[in-house]
Amino acid sequence: MTQSSLGQLTDQKNRNKNVLFPKICVSLIEKDPTLILRIAREMAESDVDMVEWRLDYVVNEMDIEELLRLFQKIRVILAEKELLVTLRTHLEGGSVRVSKECYRQTYLGLLKTGLVDWLDIEAKRPLEWFNEVLVEANKQHCQIIASYHNFLETPSNSYLEKLVLDFMKINPDVIKIAVMPEFEEDVWRLLHWNQQTLQCLGQIKIIAIAMGELGKISRLVGGITGSYLTFTSFSKVSAPGQLKFEEVHWLFSLAKIKLAEQGSEDNGEEKNSKN
């Protein structure tokens, strides 16, 4: 990203002292149940806002009953954290091939426990993959992230706009767009697109992520343009370009302190000018 582009983001941040820092999510991507539970305990003791359990790492390793028992243990450990459940298919970067029936039945089984806070839906899949899942999620008051991942390019703004409008037909709580930039300009364009889309469609939340080395900056400054959530690594990286949770949390904490200090200085200057 160019210095001028980053400068424009900084100017916008300085004008908005109440900028919303995105929630920080970490992914639980181990295969061994014992290791999954150990890392879940570490996550529970950390300052992460949300944990994503990536089912594609375990769905072929155990049957549905074993999966449900493991999920209930994870849920108890992460009782104080928001829990996102994701079965990422190979079509969008997942670790295994997943059939339509596996996708439906796994999600339905977990939803019926009533313990899922968030569910990721690959909304470009045909509707029959997830129509029953959406009904059950609504019944269980589970929030939906409609997601799209493109590991090859950053599509045009018009394509992304159409994607968002299509996704909104299933009434998700959040729309996630994760794309691969080829140039620095793609990152800047994605951030601008996110901001402009939210201004036009203010009722929807969007997660906008540029992946890979070029896109790292989007994981840090996305909140300035309205991105709802940023994904960081905890034990392992689950997507290209992810930053470590500790680094992102430290930077966000420092930025909040600096903004608070700036706000105090501004208030002091305002009082002095009145006097």
pLDDT tens sequence across 156-203: 999 999 999 999 999 999 999 999 999 999 999 999 999 999 998 877
What average pLDDT does this structure show over 105-121?
Answer: 97
In order of their start, the domains of the chain are: 20-149+156-246 (3.20.20.70)
156 labeled part of a ligand binding site? no
- pLDDT (0 to 100) of residue 237: 82
258 vs 191, residue with greater confidence:
191
219 labeled part of a ligand binding site? yes
- pLDDT (0 to 100) of residue 108: 97
27 labeled part of a ligand binding site? yes
pTM, two decimals, is 0.87
Q: What is the mean pLDDT of the chain?
A: 88
Q: Decide if 67 contacts 106 (C-beta within 8 A).
A: yes
Q: Decide if 107 contacts 133 (C-beta within 8 A).
A: yes
pLDDT tens digits, residue range 201-214? 877 899 999 999 99
Q: How confident is the model at residue 263 (pLDDT cuts 50, 70, 90)?
A: low
Dig out the tokens for 188 from the structure: 């800047």
- pLDDT (0 to 100) of residue 265: 58
- pLDDT (0 to 100) of residue 264: 61
What average pLDDT does this structure show over 260-267?
Answer: 67
Number of CB atoms found within 10 A of residue 185's CB = 14
Q: How confident is the model at residue 260 (pLDDT cuts 50, 70, 90)?
A: confident
- pLDDT (0 to 100) of residue 10: 40
12 vs 82, residue with greater confidence:
82
238 labeled part of a ligand binding site? yes
Nearest residue to 206 via CA among 195, 217, 192: 195
88 labeled part of a ligand binding site? yes
38 labeled part of a ligand binding site? no
CA 119 to chain centre: 11
pLDDT tens digits, residue range 29-74? 999 999 999 999 999 999 999 999 999 999 999 999 999 999 999 9
Catalytic residues: 149, 176
Distance CA 168, CA 116 (A): 21
Distance CA 133, CA 247 (A): 36
| Best mean pLDDT range from 89-98, 137-146, 242-251 | 137-146
pLDDT at 144 over 90: yes
- pLDDT (0 to 100) of residue 270: 57
Distance CA 57, CA 112 (A): 21
What average pLDDT does this structure show over 2-15?
Answer: 41
Long-range contacts, 67-70 (Cβ 8 Å, 24+): 67/106, 67/109, 67/110, 68/109, 68/110, 68/113, 70/33, 70/36, 70/37
The percentage of residues in the chain with a pLDDT greater than 90, rounded to a whole number, is 74
Q: Decide if 211 contacts 180 (C-beta within 8 A).
A: yes
